[in-house]
Amino acid sequence: MSEDFLVELGTEELPPKALSTLLSAFRSGIQSGLEKEGLSFSAIEEYASPRRLAVLVKQLDSVTPAKEIVAWGPPAKIAFDAEGNPSKAALAFANKNGLDPSALIVENDGKADKLVHRSASGGLDTSTLLGAIVSESLVKLPIPKRMRWGAKRTEFVRPIHWLVLLFGADVVDAEIMGLQSGRETRGHRFHYNKTLNINTAADYVETLRSPAHIIVDMNERKNLIQEQVTNEAGKLGGTAVIDEGLLNEVNALVEWPMALAGRFDERFLEVPSEALISSMKEHQKYFHVVDKSGQLLPNFITVANIISKDPAQVINGNERVIRPRLADAAFFFETDKKTSLLKLRERLKSIVFQAKLGTVFDKTERVAKLASAIASRMGSNTEHAERAGILCKSDLVSDMVSEFDKMQGVAGYYYGVNDGEPLDVAKALNEQYLPRFAGDVLPETSCGVALALADRLDTLTGIFGVGLLPSGSKDPFALRRASVAVLRLLVEKDLDLDLRDLLTQAIAGHTDLSDNALLVETILSYMIERFRAGYEDAKIPAEVFMAVSAKSLSTPLDINKRVLAVHQFGLLPEAQSLAAANKRVSNILAKQSDVEIPPLDEALLQEPAEQALAKAVAEKSKLVEPLFAQANYADALAQLADLRDIVDQFFDDVMVMAEDEALRNNRLALLSQLRGLFFEVADISLLVPAKK
């Protein structure tokens, strides 16, 4: 026997950005509770709206499965004495299992005769367990800050007003969060502002749809919003830009969505579009509309939670609300343009970057010099890079950024253009923050690349230098993200720059840091380690990265080329055999580390196998030398792969540790040459899987 089970928790409006997380955790908690009891079901569905969290379990077992529990006790030979009376061990077993000593049974467990107690469990009515399962799920929800309401001591993310618990058509009797369960839910605040009953769990979705005017399926509601917004934009002759985050937030704000298009004055289009979009999105939850060329149109689309009899009034109300917001943006933009970025920069002298590292103004001084040095190494315009560094933080004290924090960098670009700065300087003021997150685009201009590197390297060296290293989940200065950004810039922009040198130069810009050599190595190690996670995401085995790390390199572009080459090599059929051979060679040479090995003497090559190996190594050396010079590691390793058979034959036929010292040292020299060929790229002996 099975029935559908429904739980619905009715609340005041839940935090929209947390709704999906709360629902998913609620569903997972209930699922875990049911599985813990051994209960089976065909499916589990989750539903939510701004005022409810609900889970529907399909075809849930009506009773828990019955099962036999077998408890084995001490062996029979120590459970009874010579007269057959139970020993202390037997009495303890009986007491533990609630048995009379006279009821003790002996059975064979396949190895020996032992005391045994067999009991049955399960067979409980599922309905008697559901209240506790739901209650425990609610307690475990990821709620950072719970609240109380009224005189109750109950705590939840928002006040709770009703609780539906149905197993099939029957109400599950339970008290949760101070509420008695029932079948009574509530409809839409405006279209059906009253209570109604859910007759059976299976009726839930359709009962809320009609007559309650609530689309409780979040995916259905989301798709409907997207369709409506797209259609409204099409009527305007444009395309709605539907940001996934905004779409999810709007979806969590409405129960019966209705998209409506509004308009704002065209004069506001003179303001940077990013500011207008930010205002519409962040403050009003509007979707913006663009034309065929991607230019912002003077329109927006809002999603109401009601079907209005007079939609024009709703639209008019939204237009009145957005107008002062956009007017503020226009005022800030016009006001800021009256003061150059260079003059704004003076205000940075009163803003502390970090207590031991000075002001933001001081930071721009360091960044400017470092950006110029990096630009020089890149072969790009050093004057423009330095100018961008000087102005890079000026927009932080502008009115625009003070009001719209996401305009940081973007505002700098517009004000740079307004001030008549070179275009690549203006672009760099925005590009300095790229990439802002994983997978984000990189700067397009070389000036932007130099500035982006300089800004992050200055922060990394300064914060590490004053001892504020990231630990665990604490990384207030986002040093992990800065490290990954630097690595991406150097690799994806094909910059053959030594990170050790860059860090050394960045540290030199800080006047009060000491122990520079140790600091450089500490930061370098930390940054190179950031590579590991990226390679793991790319499904590159950890041993590949370790093989390259053994070279202790500090040029990210070169490291990346080697990792990709070694990974490609590792896929070849010869790879594991050659890796094992290299490991064997490494072990042999390590044991002879105190022996001075002379150069290879061809006259001492006696065995055909060692003669063949020496010839092959010499030929391969000439072949791969130009490939190494070009950093073409993939082709070099591919060329070395066919050494496998010759190397295997050598170890089969040749005794390396010969009694004759000259012969032994000559063979060690040959193996050293062999290992050196591969070690030009990486220590491939580390590709051998560790023994478990």
Q: What are phi and psi of 184, to 5 degrees?
A: -95, 125
**Biggest alpha carbon distance in the chain?**
108
Q: Mark whether 277 and 380 lie in a shared domain.
A: no
DSSP category for residue 123: -
> Read out DSSP for 301-324?
EEEESS--S-HHHHHHHHHHHHHH
Residues 330 and 350 in one domain: no
Residue 690 is predicted with a pLDDT of 62
User: Averaged over 193-214, what is the pLDDT?
Assistant: 96
Arithmetic mean of pLDDT over the chain: 93
Structure tokens at 463: 């914060």
Q: Is the pLDDT of residue 599 over 70?
A: yes
What distance in Å separates the CA atoms of residue 428 and residue 409, rounded to the nearest whole number?
A: 9
Whether residue 682 is predicted with pLDDT greater than 70 in this model: the reply is yes
Q: Dihedral of the CA atoms 411, 415, 418, 423 (nearest 10)?
A: -80
User: Looking at residues 643-657, what average pLDDT do you find?
Assistant: 92
Neighbouring residues of 159: CB distance < 8 A, sequence distance ≥ 6? 11, 12, 147, 149, 150
User: If you average pLDDT over residues 480-502, what whole number do you get?
Assistant: 97
**Least confident span in 94-103, 133-142, 235-244, 598-607:** 94-103
CA dist list (Å): 496 to 385, 394, 557, 562, 575: 18, 31, 6, 13, 28
Instruction: Provide the whole-model pTM.
Output: 0.81
**72 shares its domain with 38:** no
146 and 97 within one domain: no
Its sign, for the CA torsion 440, 445, 451, 453, is positive
pLDDT-based confidence at 596, cuts 50/70/90? Answer: confident
- Asked, for residue 234, whether it belongs to a domain, the answer is yes
Q: Is residue 550 part of a domain?
A: no
Contacting residues for 364 by C-beta, under 8 A, at least 6 apart: 345, 348, 389, 390, 391, 392, 393
Structural contact between residues 570 and 541, judged by C-beta atoms closer than 8 angstroms: yes
Number of domains in the chain: 5
State residue 296's pLDDT score: 97
pLDDT in tens, 500-531: 999 999 999 998 877 688 999 999 999 999 99
For residue 515, the model assigns a pLDDT of 66
Read off the CATH number of the domain in which 623 is found. 1.10.730.10
Are residues 44 and 97 both part of a single domain?
A: no
Instruction: Flag whether 551 is in a domain.
Output: no
Distance CA 523, CA 457 (A): 10
Of the candidates 258, 181, 168, 158, the residue with the CA atom closest to the CA atom of residue 215: 258
Query: For residue 7, what is the enclosing H or E element?
Result: strand 2-11
Provide the pLDDT for residue 49. Answer: 97
| Closest C-alpha to 50, from 219, 254, 200 | 254
- Chain segment 108-136, per-residue pLDDT in tens: 888 888 888 887 777 789 999 999 999 99
**DSSP for residue 466:** T
pLDDT band at 562 (very low <50, low <70, confident <90, very high): very high
Show which of 85, 103, 121 is a domain's final residue. 121
Among the listed residues 184, 185, 186, 182, the one whose alpha carbon sits nearest the alpha carbon of residue 170: 182
Q: Contact 309/383 with Cβ under 8 angstroms? A: no
Task: Round to whole Å and give the CA distance between 119 and 479.
Answer: 59
Name the residue among 181, 169, 66, 165 with its Cα closest to residue 125.
66
In this structure, of 177-181, 594-598, 645-649, 661-665, the range with the lowest mean pLDDT score is: 594-598
Query: Phi and psi at residue 177, in whole multiples of 5°?
Result: 55, 35
Domain co-membership, 412 together with 469? yes
% of the chain at pLDDT higher than 70: 99
| Percent with pLDDT over 90 in the chain | 79
Phi and psi torsions of 150, nearest 5°: 60, -145
Phi-psi region of 625 (alpha: psi -120 to 50; beta: other; left: phi over 0): alpha
78 in a structural domain: yes
Q: How far apart are CA 244 and CA 247, in angstroms?
A: 5
Range with the poorest average pLDDT among 98-107, 369-378, 399-408, 578-587: 98-107
Place of tokens 């685009």: 441
34 and 130 together in one domain: yes
H or E element that contains 68: strand 67-75
Which CATH number does the domain housing residue 471 bear? Answer: 1.10.3210
Last residue of a domain, one of 315, 334, 353: 334
Buried b (16+ CB within 10 A) or exposed e, 420-449: ebbebbbbbbbbbbbbeeeeeeebebbbbb
Per-residue model confidence (pLDDT) at position 289: 98
Please indicate, yes or no, whether residues 444 and 464 belong to a single structural domain of this protein. Answer: yes
Q: What is the pLDDT of residue 80?
A: 87
- Domain boundary among the residues 306, 334, 362 is at 334
Q: Given pLDDT bands bounded at 50, 70 and 90, which one contains residue 691?
A: low
pLDDT for the residue numbered 524: 96
* 608-629 and 661-679 helices, crossing angle to 10°: 30
Is residue 692 situated within a structural domain? no
Query: Do 320 and 242 fall within a single domain?
Result: yes
Q: What domain range includes position 666?
A: 560-687
User: Across residues 436-448, what is the average pLDDT?
Assistant: 94
Is pLDDT at 483 greater than 80 in this prediction? Answer: yes
Arithmetic mean of pLDDT, 429-445: 95
Domain membership of residue 553 (yes or no) is no
680 three-class SS: coil
Mean pLDDT throughout 664-680?
92
d(CA 296, CA 329): 15
- Assess contact for 87 and 93: CB atoms under 8 A: no
Which residue, among 670, 687, 691, has the nearest Cα to 583 in the 3D structure?
687
What value does the mean pLDDT take over residues 28-56? 96
SS (H, E, C) 596-644: CCCCCCHHHCCCHHHHHHHHHHHHHHHHHHHHHHCCCHHHHHHHHHHHH
Instruction: Name the residue with tokens 């050196």.
Output: 676
Distance CA 42, CA 60 (A): 7
Same domain, 200 and 174: yes
H helices of 10-83, in order, are 19-36, 76-79
Cβ atoms 404, 368 nearer than 8 A: no
* pLDDT, tens digit, 9 for 90 and up, residues 213-245: 999 999 999 999 999 999 999 999 999 999 999
Distance between the two ends of the chain, CA-based, in angstroms?
A: 47
Can you name the residues that pair with 61 across neighbouring β-strands?
2
How confident is the model at residue 226, as a pLDDT? 98
Cis peptide leading into residue 211 (ω within 30°) = yes
Q: Is the pLDDT of residue 692 over 70?
A: no
CA atoms within 13 A on the CB side of 105: 12
Local confidence band at 376 (pLDDT 50, 70, 90 cut-offs): very high
pLDDT (mean) for 154-172: 95
Looking at the predicted structure, is the pLDDT value of residue 663 above 60? yes
Look at the block and give the residue holding tokens 């298009």. 261
Point out which residues pair with 197 in neighbouring strands.
Answer: 184
pLDDT at position 76 is: 84
Please check whether residue 233 is in contact with residue 368, taking contact to mean a CB–CB distance below 8 angstroms: no
Computed from CA positions of residues 652, 658, 663, 664, in that sequence, does the dihedral angle turn out positive or negative? positive
Measured distance CA(560)–CA(633) in Å, rounded? 11
Read off the pLDDT of residues 301-326 as tens digits, 9 standing for 90 and up. 999 999 998 999 999 999 999 999 99
Query: In sequence order, what DSSP letters do the residues of 348-376 get, joined into one string?
Result: GGGSEEETTTEEHHHHHHHHHHHHHHHHH
Answer yes or no: are the C-beta atoms of 454 and 433 closer than 8 Å.
Answer: no
Q: Is residue 16 part of a domain?
A: yes
- Answer yes or no: is 92 within a domain: yes
Q: CA 324 to CA 295: how far, in whole Å?
A: 22
Q: Is residue 633 over pLDDT 60?
A: yes
Confidence tier at 598 by pLDDT (50, 70, 90): confident
Which uninterrupted H or E stretch holds 412? Answer: helix 410-418
Locus of tokens 């955790």: 25
Whether 69 contacts 121, CB under 8 Å: yes
Q: How far is CA 54 from the centre of its chain?
A: 28
- Average of per-residue pLDDT across 629-652: 93
Q: Are residues 26 and 106 in the same domain?
A: no
Q: Are residues 139 and 112 in the same domain?
A: no
